[in-house]
């Protein structure tokens, strides 16, 4: 019981100090405000092949798409229900029912992709029918309720990584630089308790910031079960990135050095994940990063909703946290 109190005391002390640190407040407030003002526009997505589900009897339209377009990949479905499920879970971006008139279901969770595909399919169908198809196509947007949440996965990932890698690392290094860490270690609190207290501080800071962001953006729309999954996934991810920050702080002797190293690590953690669809290389590179799996979890829960399977992503984040914490604790015992 005393150990728990000491861990909580250390975490509470760091949280109070953060409220008086303008840099920390700016780092926290900027993503929260930005999540209300901007949506993610990934221009590189326009260069990828969009998966188009097709329901038809003779296969002529699929053959036409495969032979005349570069960025549209036709996938055949036998039943409309099967195609609708694939569209709602993000396996395809559009579903075309070849009949008179054509019916096109479009994933509207990302507005830029929606309008791009609408124009592309309208032109493609027009060429296929050899006429102007405006009056012959019925476009039906799908996943409308998740449109306002489509940008949140990127902002939550950015915020979680920023707090864990930059703020937590700087906090620990500052304690070492000012010699206050050694004062704490002279109390009954052991090195493991100090490390856990610092980690708990980072986790609480991430949770509070992300929960505010989610509340302001109406995450209650995803339902109770998905909210529980989101909270648990955020816990595992916050442990991963907080541990990464503690590792940086354990290897550095000053706040400035920790923030510099954290910045160098921070951007490579983000960009391969944000542009994973741009090419095979970026997609392969992203799979070695925890941000990739965290982003996939967020996208499944917030954008596609339903009953997402996130076990493999959680397993990867959990293993990543365990390995990093073991290295961090071993280093902290030697350095502190």
pTM assigned to the model: 0.66
Instruction: Say what the pLDDT of residue 46 is.
Output: 47
Q: Same domain for 117 and 174?
A: no
Q: Same domain for 126 and 168?
A: no
Beta bridge partners of 106: 94, 141
Higher pLDDT, residue 179 or 239: 239
Q: Same domain for 17 and 31?
A: yes
**pLDDT higher than threshold 80 for residue 307:** no
Q: Same domain for 157 and 137?
A: no
Q: Same domain for 177 and 259?
A: yes
pLDDT in tens, 20-62: 777 777 777 777 776 666 544 444 444 567 889 999 888 888 8
Q: Which domain holds residue 248?
A: 2-40+151-335
Instruction: Say what the pLDDT of residue 336 is.
Output: 57
* Dihedral pair phi/psi, residue 108, rounded to 5°: -100, 15
| Domain end among 148, 169, 185 | 148
Please tell me the distance from the alpha carbon of residue 127 to that of residue 67, in angstroms, as a whole number. Answer: 12
Mean pLDDT in residue range 276-302: 84
How many structural domains comprise the chain?
Answer: 2
Instruction: Name the residue with tokens 């008139």.
Output: 101
50: domain CATH number is 3.40.190
How close are the terminal C-alpha atoms of the chain, in Å?
24
Q: Same domain for 132 and 181?
A: no
Q: Same domain for 210 and 269?
A: yes
**pLDDT higher than threshold 80 for residue 171:** yes
| Domain end among 148, 182, 205 | 148
CB 204 within 8 A of CB 289: no
Question: Which region among 37-46, 121-130, 262-271, 308-317 has the lowest average model confidence (pLDDT)?
Answer: 37-46
Instruction: Say what the pLDDT of residue 188 is.
Output: 77
Please tell me the distance from the alpha carbon of residue 56 to that of residue 79, in angstroms, as a whole number. Answer: 9
DSSP secondary structure, 247-277, as one string = HHHHH-SSHHHHHHHHHHHHHHHHHHHHTTT
Please tell me the distance from the alpha carbon of residue 265 to that of residue 74, in angstroms, as a whole number. Answer: 39
pLDDT in tens, 198-248: 889 999 999 999 988 888 877 777 778 888 889 999 999 999 999 999 989
Strand 102-107 and strand 72-76: the pairing is: unpaired
CB 115 within 8 A of CB 80: no
Q: Same domain for 130 and 179?
A: no
pLDDT in tens, 101-139: 788 888 876 666 676 778 788 888 888 887 544 444 555
Mean pLDDT in residue range 281-288: 84
Cα Rg, the chain, nearest whole Å:
24
pLDDT in tens, 59-109: 888 888 888 877 788 899 988 889 888 888 888 888 998 887 788 888 876
Q: Same domain for 169 and 303?
A: yes
For helices 152-162 and 290-298, the axis angle rounded to 10 degrees is: 140
Q: Same domain for 34 and 112?
A: no
Q: Same domain for 283 and 163?
A: yes
| Domain end among 121, 148, 175 | 148
**pLDDT higher than threshold 60 for residue 177:** yes
């Amino acid at each position: 019981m005393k150990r728990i109190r000491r861990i909580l005391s250390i975490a509470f002390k760091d949280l109070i100090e953060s409220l008086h640190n303008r840099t920390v407040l700016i780092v926290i407030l900027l993503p929260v405000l930005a999540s209300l003002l901007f949506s993610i526009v990934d221009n590189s997505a326009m260069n990828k092949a969009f998966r188009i589900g097709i329901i038809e009897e003779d296969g002529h339209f699929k053959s036409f798409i495969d032979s005349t377009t570069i960025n549209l990949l036709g996938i055949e479905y036998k039943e409309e229900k099967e195609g609708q499920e694939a569209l709602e879970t993000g396996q395809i971006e559009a579903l075309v029912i070849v009949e008179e008139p054509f019916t096109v279901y479009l994933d509207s969770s990302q507005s830029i992709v929606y309008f791009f595909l609408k124009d592309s399919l309208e032109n493609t169908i027009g060429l296929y029918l050899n006429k102007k198809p405006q009056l012959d196509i019925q476009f039906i947007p799908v996943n409308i309720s998740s449109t306002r949440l489509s940008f949140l996965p990127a902002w939550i990932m950015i915020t979680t990584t920023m707090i864990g890698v930059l703020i937590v690392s700087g906090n620990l290094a500052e304690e070492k630089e000012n010699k206050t860490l050694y004062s704490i270690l002279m109390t009954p609190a052991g090195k493991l308790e100090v490390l856990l207290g610092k980690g708990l501080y980072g986790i609480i800071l991430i949770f509070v910031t992300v929960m505010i962001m989610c509340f302001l953006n109406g995450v209650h729309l995803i339902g109770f079960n998905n909210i529980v999954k989101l909270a648990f996934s955020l816990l595992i991810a916050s442990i991963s990135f907080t541990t990464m920050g503690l590792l940086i702080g354990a290897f550095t002797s000053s706040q400035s050095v920790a923030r510099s190293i954290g910045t160098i690590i921070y951007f490579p953690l983000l960009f391969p994940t944000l542009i994973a669809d741009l090419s095979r290389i970026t997609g392969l590179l992203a799979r070695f990063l925890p941000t990739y799996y965290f982003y996939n979890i967020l996208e499944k829960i917030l954008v596609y909703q339903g009953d997402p399977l996130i076990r493999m992503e959680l397993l990867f984040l959990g293993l990543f946290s365990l390995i990093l914490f073991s290295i961090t604790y071993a280093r902290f015992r030697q350095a502190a």
